[in-house]
Structure 1
Amino acid sequence: MECLFGIQGDKFALLVADTSQVQSIVVQKTEEDKIMLLDSHKLLATIGENGDRVQFSEFIQKNILLYQFRNGIPLSTSAAANFTCGELAHALRKNPYFVNMMIAGYDSEEGPSLYYLDYIATLHKVKTGALGYGAYFILSLMDKFYSKNMSLDAALELVDKCILEIKTRLMGAPPNFVIKIVDENGAREFAWRKSVEDNTGPPSSAPAPLTPVEVSSQA
Structure 2
Amino acid sequence: MECVFGLVGKGFALVVADTSAVNSILVHKSNEDKVMVLDSHKLLGASGEPGDRVQFTEYIQKNLHLYQFRNGIPLTTAATANFTRGELATALRKNPYSVNILLAGYDKGVGPSMYYIDYIATMHKIEKGAFGYGSYFSLSMMDRYYHPDMSIEEAIDLLDKIIIEIRTRLVVAPPNFVIKIVDQDGAREYAWRESIKSPEVSMA
Secondary structure in structure 1 of the residue aligned to 2:190? strand
Letter in 2 for 1:55: Q
TM-superposed CA distance for 1:3, in Å, is 0.5
Counterpart in the other structure of 1:95: 95
8 Å CA contact retained: 1:47, 1:99: yes
Residue aligning to 1:27: 27
Residue aligned with 1:158, SS:
helix
Q: Supply the distance in 2 between the matched residues of 1:11 and 1:179 (Cα, whole angstroms).
A: 16
Structure 1 residue 118 corresponds to structure 2 residue 127:
no
Q: CA deviation at 1:165?
A: 0.6
Question: Partner of 2:5 in structure 1?
Answer: 5
Query: Is residue 150 from structure 1 mapped to residue 150 from structure 2 by the alignment?
Result: yes
CA–CA distance in structure 1, aligned partners of residues 36 and 191 of structure 2: 15
CA distance in 1, matches of 2:33, 2:140: 26
Give the number of the structure whose alpha-carbon radius of gyration is greater: 1
The answer on whether the counterparts of 1:115 and 1:124 sit within 8 Å (CA) in structure 2 is: yes
Q: Give 1:50-199 correspondences, 5 Å limit.
A: 50-195=50-195
Distance in structure 2 (CA, Å) of the matches to 1:145 and 1:126: 16
Separation (CA, whole Å) in 2 of partners of 1:91 and 1:166: 32
Contiguous gaps of at least 5 residues in structure 2: 198-204
Corresponding residue pairs, total: 197
Identity of aligned residues (%): 66
TM-score by length of 2: 0.95
Q: Secondary structure at the match of 1:119?
A: coil
Runs of 5+ unmatched residues, structure 1: 198-219
SS in 2 for 1:6: strand
The alpha-carbon deviation at position 196 of structure 1 amounts to 6.2
Query: Would you say the 8 A contact 1:4–1:17 is kept in 2?
Result: yes
1:38-72 Cα shifts (integer Å, max 9, x gaps): 10000111111000000000000000110000000
Superposed CA RMSD in Å reads 0.9
Aligned to 2:202: none
Distance 1:191 1:135 in 2: 20
State the AA in 2 paired with 1:114: M
**TM-score, normalising length: structure 1:** 0.89
Q: Summarize deviations over 1:111-160 as a string: whole Å, max 9, x none.
A: 00011111111111110001001001121110110012110000000000
